[in-house]
Structure 1
Amino acid sequence: MTITLGPIIGHTTDTSVKIWIRGAKGPNHASREFCYGAFDLYEGANLVASKYCFLKDYYDFTGVVSFDGLKADTAYRLECGLVYKRDAQVPNTADLVQGPVVNSAEKVGTTFKTHRASNDTTLNFVFGSCRYLYWDNFVLNDAEKGDKTFRSIFTEHQQNPLDFFLAVGDQVYADPLNKLHEYSNFDELCEIYRKSFKLANIRALMSCVPTYMILDDHEIRNDWSKNQMRDENSGFFATRMRAYASYQHLHNPDTPNGQFWYHFEKGPFPFFVMDTRTLRISEATSIEGKTMLGREQLNAFLEWLHVHRNAPVKFVVSSVPFFPDPKPAKGSEDKWAGFNDERSMILEFIRVEGISDIVFLSGDVHNSSFARMRCYQDQQFLLTSLVSSPFYWPYPHESKSDFYGGKTLEFMQWSDGTRRLRDRVEYRYEGEGFIGDESFTRVSVDIGKGKPWCSAEIFDRKGNKFSDYPNPFLF
């Protein structure tokens, strides 16, 4: 039997790859005949490795397999399929097995490439967010329109190969009409993922380009924070996170159970992917203070900044923009503007520690922009923000007037490197672009000549540059 969805090429390094597929319940599932994924990996005509993975019904028959010991910057061909085995016939899923193990009559194949060696000097990737598909809408064909952006990204990859694809939130809408219409149970949620990821263009893209994802609010509910759990039954949040883990987080880098933030490296370029939703507390209680990241994640992020302080460029993924800020009428309290104490801590740490070349990647706001932040008291301080949203949104988009294009932020912070004096410290950002249309952003980095050369280009849903922002943003 053939796989029902995938493969998705997930977290990939110069020596390893993580591959995701979905199977299906077999006819003898009730008598303990279970579903397994079968994988054969080839370099050219030579079989390199074979492996099985267990496709658990708890995860809607999704699962991942990892191959290690691969060659850097090398093209591999993958064949995958399904097998059904009873308890007494359970295949070894922990180690490589003698192959081939895929039934050639029902195999699904693809090709991918491992990342280049760790001393490589270039990086190219596409990122974006917010892919609204309302499957119960009989007026608009959301499916066809929502998949066009990914055809353009795939074409971009064919013309100028991408190292990876990064989706930074709202990959599906579990609440397409907010509380008026929400998908309520695990089967309904998984069906939305299956329909969304089965569309031709996004499926083609994810089957050959390493794909990384992180959730935002609509994988759960609009403007989600832990405070909302008081108003729901205990299974509401757990059900949504099980669907998210099954279809998105499984192919990300491994994390401890229940942790959804993660980090990875592409050559010399490190990435920290924040979870800005599941640990968020938007209203302080007598027990817990207001927070976007939670204590453990914030501390891990600051430690990550310290460890990678000398990396040529450091990328931080925050599903909601670190800056620029929306105006209050557009929900600024849901963004980092509503968590200024925590934002101040991060800015203070970066400035006092003298860490440079940090780039924030964000989505969420249905408007794409670029911005730079500087500090009046420290001329060496510089942060960059790239915001890309939405992949598809059939309703009116946000416009430039909905944001503070330039804004000064003032905080009481340490004013010297020895942390003895505190004073008012002023940060100011200036933004540009503010494109209110379907879009995606391509980021390119080259450190071959020493100082990083970085650019970001924004494309519309058809893969064309916008006439009112035709040139790359250099940072």
Structure 2
Amino acid sequence: MSPGPHPDDALVLGPLLRHVDETSATVWVRTAAAATVTVERAGRAWSAPTFSVHGSHYALVVLDGLVPGSQDAYTVAVDDVAVWPLQGAPESRIRTLDPRRTTRFAFGTCRTNGSHDEAGNRAHGIDALRSLAVALRDDPATAWPDLLLLLGDQVYADTTPHAELEEFMRSRRSLDEPPGPEIKDYVEYAELYRLAWSDDVIRWVLSTVPSAMMFDDHDIRDDWNTSWSWRRDIRATTWWQERIVSGLAAYWVHQHIGNLSPAELAEEEVWRLVADHAASSAAGELDLTDVLDELATRADAEPESYRWSYTRALGDSTLVVIDSRAARDLRPDSRSMLDAGELDWLDGVLRGGSRHVLIGTSLPFLLPPGLHDFEAMNEAMAQGAYGRRVAHGAEKMRRHIDLEHWAAFNNGFDEVFAMVMEVARGERGAAPETVTFLSGDVHNSYLAEVADPQALGASARVVQAVCSPIRNPMPRGVRVVMSLFARSLVRPMRFIAARSRRVPDPPFRWSVTDGPWFDNNIALCHVATDALELAWVTGVVDGGPDHPRLRTVYATRIEALPSHGGTPTGVDSGSAQGDPRARNTAGVA
């Protein structure tokens, strides 16, 4: 028999607790068959029928009328049969936002799907998300996050490190034919997500901590939308169209709809079909296969026709999550990380008036300066500034070593930087204390900051916080190179870039203030009353792989500038090696 869920399990995957605000929540599940899914909490019940996509069945149950600041346990039933919590497992709670409570959240990217035994840990390192989940389950002193923000590579569609996934794929087709041991279609995507989220501890934490997500390249394929020529070449293959349509449809089901509030769901074009079908009491389950395939085809061909980006309120802070993959303008004469429609949307939502403006983008906006200059030079060469032969070599280099971050899309970089500085100067509403980018992708973690913002007329600090990977460590040789770009190569690369009229100079200066670190990490953020507190934590196994504990790699406080009326300028920070305070994870996050 092919691997997969046990045939007697009515609940195949989930529940995942997704959007939660003060008075509402959404709960996502995948079921074994068409059914009605019911969520009960605090004496009330909410139900939704499943919809199907390529033979799999899903429901997103919307809970309304909740009490702010409440934290009650909930249960899930499928056709009136209780399926959650599992026997012997801890209960799951829905903890609504409380305007009187300071906000806490966790974020990170890049989590490979491997076993959690000694062999899996040797290959992939200890899973930082799973380590956080164990701490939340077992240690009452661990501070509870209001949100888990996963900013890319939740699944790896282009690699199959999981033996069970490979067995599933081999049971359906030959891996000697394209695309080989990569995900081929929606059915394989559904199995990939199931395996990624099925570990008991991961499944529990996703059921009880609200999550927000955004794709990056490996959710579809490495180097996705790197350049116009990459897109041309990949479209010439026999298998790409099925991959991109399946990947985007699977993303819509497993990640995107859970990012949206109930009000936003009511306006979403496909979800309206789900809601209308449920309200009509029509017989049979709604099959969204054709509708989602058509949406995915259109969204890939015409990126401006569908938006994956979104915003979310987090207490007195605002989170803006940007799609920096599907919304690119790849035309050689107008390359931009964000196309015109996406830039217009960002221009409309990027406003002050919050204590902190948090911008989630899978790719770091502020790379280490040496790497930024290197990618900017590569873009100029690849775009033909130094002739056709150089352009060909530069394009090969761009794809081979992933030179495709914001620095390699200079037009969009400059436009977004200008918006951010307007927010920091108070030109888009009252200036926040910080504008903080939250990113991953690069398989190392660091903190960067725009230099001397007050000299630029800003009263907010502009910060880049990067946390990557959750579980996918960088090879040791590459770690050396990344450290050089963050430190020793900054001046040489700036010297070279500044002397080329074809390489644009960044409009503002910044530097890496802390890092890089190369542990498997997840970052914890606390919007404290007097600062933005950040800590990067990793998993340590000294009591067996089933009982990892958290160790703080680095902790810092980002305080408001004096011109903002806050505490004096400065970052009080300490490493886990030198400051005992940094070891108290519950205290810093």
Alpha-carbon distance, 1:395 to partner: 5.4
Q: For 1:29-48, list aligned pairs within 5 A.
A: 35-43=34-42, 47-48=43-44
Name the structure 1 match of 2:464: 385
Matched residue, 1:279 = 327
Deviations 1:248-306 (A, max 9, x none): 22321146354211111122211111111111234526xxx212122222222122123
Larger mean CA deviation between 322-331 and 189-198 belongs to: 322-331
Query: Equivalent residue for 1:396?
Result: 475
1:8 partner amino acid: L
The within-5 A match list for 1:20-419 is 20-25=28-33, 35-43=34-42, 47-58=43-54, 60-83=56-79, 102-104=80-82, 106-108=83-85, 110-117=91-98, 119-120=99-100, 122-133=102-113, 141=120, 148-158=127-137, 159-176=142-159, 181-225=181-225, 227=228, 228-230=230-232, 231-232=234-235, 233-253=240-260, 254=264, 256-257=268-269, 258-284=306-332, 289-306=334-351, 309-325=352-368, 327=371, 328=374, 331=401, 333-353=403-423, 354-355=425-426, 356=432, 357-374=434-451, 375=453, 377-378=456-457, 380=459, 382-393=461-472, 396=475, 398-399=478-479, 400-405=482-487
Deviation, 1:132, is: 1.6
Cα distance, 1:350 vs structure 2: 2.7
- For residues 199-250 of structure 1, give each alpha carbon's deviation from its aligned partner in whole angstroms, at most 9, with x where no partner exists: 1221111011111111100011111117444332533311111112222223
Task: Give the whole-Å Cα distance in 2 for the aligned partners of 1:55 and 1:147.
Answer: 36
Instruction: Tell me: CA distance 1:292–1:42, structure 2 relative to 1, closer, same or farther (3 Å).
Output: same
| CA distance in structure 2 between the partners assigned to 1:395 and 1:180 by the alignment | 24
Percent of aligned positions that are identical: 22
State the alpha-carbon separation in 1 of the partners of residues 506 and 440 from structure 2: 30
Unaligned runs of 5+ in 1: 26-34, 84-101, 412-422
Residue 432 (structure 1) shift: 1.3
Q: Which moved more, 1:209-218 or 1:289-298?
A: 289-298
Distance 1:262 1:58, change over 3 A: farther
Q: Whole-Å Cα distance in 1 between the matches of residues 539 and 64 of structure 2?
A: 36
Kindly indicate whether the alpha-carbon contact (under 8 Å) linking 1:373 and 1:430 is maintained by their aligned counterparts in 2.
Answer: no
- Structure 2 residue 21 is matched with structure 1 residue 10: no
Shift of 1:149: 2.2
Contact 1:9 1:20 in 2 (8 A): yes
Deviates more, 1:438-447 or 1:5-14: 438-447
1:464 has 2:551 as partner: yes
Distance 1:237 1:461 in 2: 34
User: Structure 2 counterpart of 1:460, which letter?
Assistant: T
TM-score norm. by structure 1 comes to 0.79
Looking at structure 1, the residues matched to 474 and 347 of structure 2 have their Cα atoms a distance apart, in angstroms, of: 38
Q: Deviations over 1:321-370 (max 9, x none)?
A: 01123734894631111122211112222324514421100010000111
1:183 positional shift: 1.2
TM-score normalised by length of structure 2: 0.65
Q: Secondary structure at the match of 1:56?
A: strand
Distance 2:258 2:418 in 1: 34
Report SS of the residue matched to 1:22: strand
Q: 2: CA distance between counterparts of 1:404 and 1:368?
A: 11
Counterpart of 2:27, as a letter, is: I
Q: Comparing 152-161 with 172-181, which one deviates more in the overlay?
A: 172-181
Pairing 1:426-465 to 2, within 5 Å after superposition:
426-447=508-529, 452-462=530-540, 463-465=550-552
Q: Offset of 1:53 from its aligned partner?
A: 2.7
8 Å CA contact retained: 1:59, 1:243: no
What's 1:19 paired with? 27
Equivalent pair of 2:449/2:461 in contact (CA under 8 Å): yes
- Give the conservation status (yes or no) of the 8 Å contact 2:126–2:520: no
Determine the structure 2 residue equivalent to 1:31: none
How far off is 1:82 after superposition?
2.2
Q: How many residues are aligned here?
A: 420
1:433·1:469 contact (CA, 8 Å) conserved in 2? no
| Contact 2:448–2:513 (Cα < 8 Å) also in 1 | yes
Query: Is 294-303 or 167-176 further displaced after alignment?
Result: 294-303
Q: For structure 2, list consecutive stretches of 5 or more residues without a partner in the other structure.
A: 1-8, 162-178, 270-305, 375-396, 427-431, 499-504, 541-549, 555-573
CA contact (8 A) 1:272 1:317 kept: yes
Q: Give the secondary structure class of the aligned counterpart of 2:336.
A: coil
Give the Cα–Cα distance (whole angstroms) in 2 for the partners of residues 107 and 380 of structure 1. Answer: 49
Task: Note the C-alpha offset of 1:152.
Answer: 1.7
More strand by share: 1
Q: C-alpha displacement at 1:396, in angstroms?
A: 1.1
Native 8 Å contact 1:134 1:176 kept in 2: no
Q: Distance in 2 between matches of 1:59 and 1:387?
A: 38
Corresponding letter in the other structure for 1:11: H
- Please give the alpha-carbon distance, in whole angstroms, between the structure 2 residues aligned to 1:206 and 1:436: 25
Aligned position for 2:565: none
Output the CA distance in 2 between the equivalents of 1:107 and 1:350. Answer: 44
Query: Hey, what's the Cα distance between the residues in 1 that align with 2:110 and 2:96?
Result: 27
Q: Helix, strand or coil for the counterpart of 1:280?
A: coil
Contact 1:189 1:243 in 2 (8 A): yes
Q: Deviating runs (4+, > 6 A) in structure 1?
A: 177-180, 407-411
Q: For residue 215 of structure 2, what is the amino acid of its counterpart? A: L
Q: Per the alignment, do residues 116 and 388 of structure 1 end up closer, same or farther by CA in structure 2, a change over 3 Å counting? A: same
Instruction: Please report how far the alpha carbon of residue 381 of structure 1 lies from its aligned counterpart in structure 2 after TM superposition.
Output: 5.6
Structure with the higher fraction of residues in helix conformation: 2
CA distance in 1, matches of 2:506, 2:199: 52
Residue identity opposite 2:533 in structure 1: S
Range with bigger deviation, 208-217 or 458-467: 458-467
